[in-house]
Structure 1
Amino acid sequence: MFFAAGRLITALLGATSCLLASPASAFTNPVRKPGGSDPQIVYSGEYYYLLSTTWSNVQIARSMTIEGLKTATRKTVYSSSEAGRCCNVWAPETHYLDGKWYIYFTAGNKDNLDGQNLHVLRGGASAWDDYTYVGKLTKEWSIDGTVVRFNKWGNYLAYSCFHGVQYQSLCLQKLGSDNVSLQGNIGVISQPTESWERSGTPVNEGPAALYIDATGKTYIVYSANYCWTPEYCLATLEWNGNTDPISPSAWTKSKGCVFSGGVNGHYGTGHNSFFRSPDGSQTWNVYHATSNSKGACDDSRYTMVQVLGSKSDGSPDFGTPVATSFDSAEPRA
């Protein structure tokens, strides 16, 4: 974020209502264009919920199908005139923790990007319930917060930071039992030290948790490089499964980008999230891209959704960005 066979089309898919009575059999990308930056989709209670960067507030949309998200009504759950958190609102994500939904998002002031911090909203038992602003999570510059679960160690917040380092890196810190505070030391688990993650300016940002049931592996997928470059891409950190997650030695970085643009007219493919299909059989990769061959950090970015594959050793296979002419079957119910 810094400096996400034919097609059966029913009349309901063109409606603006988010309550679709009959599911579609397929969808086409992009799912949100424009305004599809930093996307997150979650599935809960027969609905898909979509959030993305709006710059000025936090909005959430829901639909019973991926195709329906294109026209689903958006509900504003946060806006503020308070100077320190009014503006540059980025990368909202909703997470279900201990019976309630929480939204973690980035916000700052209107004059510059120096005051960006992470904030949190508390909701109810449904992701569509109203949310209440709880407070600021971080005390220093930080963006792109997401929750990562470790069975033995608990829940952590991963985010992009400058904590004692020169370049924008990835931080990890324990999430408090209240889910609205952070505790303990901050671990800088990844820095943009490799040549392939230093295009434009060295950047690590946009972390997202990925859990592979077949292997028991936990990954953090992140965005490398500056977003105003075509090299903006996804890379991975693999946790070793037994070392304190805030230790950089607990993580192994991929040897390069695992998902890149430059194909099918998509560039700057990054800042992603994942969701499972309703029947649990598929993992879906939700990311943003731009048609600007130079890359982009602005609202020209759009939301894409495609199935995540698996390699023979069980590790994730991201493939390449699908064409906008490709009909994807709706997630399996």
Structure 2
Amino acid sequence: MFFTPRRLLTALLGAISPVAAFTNSIRNPGGSDPQIVYTDGYYYLMSTTWSNVQIARATTIEGLKTATRKTVYSSSEASRCCNVWAPETHYLGGAWYIYFSAGNANNLDGQNVHVLKGGATPWDDYTYVAQLTSEWSIDGTIVRFNGWGNYLATSCFHGVANQSICFQKLGDDNVSVTGSIGVISQPTNSWEQSGTPVNEGPAALYINGKTYVAYSANYCWTPDYCIATLEWDGTTDPLSASAWTKSDGCLFKGGVNGHYGTGHNAFFQSPDGSQTWNVYHATSNSAGACDDSRYTMVQLLNTNADGSLNFGTPVALNIDSAEPA
């Protein structure tokens, strides 16, 4: 067959498979406190309607927008029925666990971290196991340390005036904590005190041989809610504040592309493990918001030539981003 230049170009283009892409936002409204994990060919997105814990799965990030949501927890028990926040799923010892914050309906005084136990995949059914913390705590996540074990990280008021990042050793059963509580970061800098001094939303990050804890600074009802980091020194007891070095200000913040209050994030790996992705929430309200107007965003996390973290800036909505590799 004879190919004219136009036919040749059409044939060549047709032979090239299009690159799969997604656009932000991923969950809007109701996209607060997001976490995504990738395992066994699926992305799993954790969410809540403030009275339950839900999980959705899809084979692509774009697919999460329309994926069926499966409710894995709701309760009429007064002490944990309501104000359900920040669910996260973690694979520990051959099973998936969900850690989440919950309390009573009347106020926020009873907030604590609770745990569900699931099965071999995040899609399996979960059973309520226990209240994990014994004093006011929210935003529970798991941080792993070689040689030290696993720790529960939360935002709490343990002996301090303001919401701070706290650690406690996770029990071998993954549904209890042991030993003392260590306050590893307090909102002592001016850039952590917009609205009211706050450190919350911890998230573990392991990259370039280093262990970080990202966290959200400032009051969530302000546009200044942002992401900062703590870097572990690699040798000192993780419960000690001296083991951690705080970033010099926010590393990721709003005021760009119509996004404000960019925070409460988590990280996940691409299918081939070569990329680290940042999932976070934002609001279009320029005054800041801490309600269901927040939406879920996903974008690639980069590093600079010297190995330091480069979060970039919040990506514009409806811009095509290549699906994780």
Common fold by TM > 0.5: yes
Shift of 1:255: 0.8
Provide structure 2 residue ranges, at least 5 long, that are not aligned to the other structure: 1-17
Q: How many residues align?
A: 308
Match among 254, 259, 274 for residue 247 of structure 2:
254
Cα deviations across residues 12-54 of structure 1 (Å, max 9, x unaligned)? xxxxxxxxxxx98000000000000000000010000001232
* 1:198 corresponds to: 193
SS of the equivalent of 2:63 reads helix
Cα deviations across residues 262-289 of structure 1 (Å, max 9, x unaligned)? 0000000000000000001100000000
Pairing of 1:111-122 with structure 2 (within 5 A): 111-122=106-117
Tell me whether 49-58 or 223-232 shows the greater mean CA deviation. 49-58
Larger Rg: 2
SS of the equivalent of 2:133 reads coil
Distance in 2 of aligned mates of 1:51 and 1:61: 7
Provide structure 1 residue ranges, at least 5 long, that are not aligned to the other structure: 1-22
Shift of 1:103: 0.1
* 1:132 corresponds to: 127
* 1:300 corresponds to: 293
Pairing of 1:12-161 with structure 2 (within 5 A): 25-161=20-156
RMSD after superposition? 0.9
Asked whether 1:288 is paired with 2:275, we answer no
Contact 1:24 1:65 in 2 (8 A): no
**Paired amino acid for 1:268:** G
Distance in 2 of aligned mates of 1:73 and 1:52: 12
* 2:7 corresponds to: none
Contact 2:47 2:54 in 1 (8 A): yes
Distance in 2 of aligned mates of 1:54 and 1:330: 27
Shift of 1:79: 0.3
SS of the equivalent of 2:79 reads helix
Shift of 1:326: 1.2
Distance in 2 of aligned mates of 1:184 and 1:54: 33
* 1:171 corresponds to: 166
Moved over 6 A (4+): none
Give the TM-score, by structure 1 length. Answer: 0.92
Distance in 1 of aligned mates of 2:167 and 2:132: 13
Distance in 1 of aligned mates of 2:128 and 2:62: 30
Contact 1:118 1:137 in 2 (8 A): yes
Shift of 1:325: 2.6
* 1:320 corresponds to: 313
* 2:12 corresponds to: none
Contact 2:25 2:318 in 1 (8 A): no
Give the TM-score, by structure 2 length. Answer: 0.94
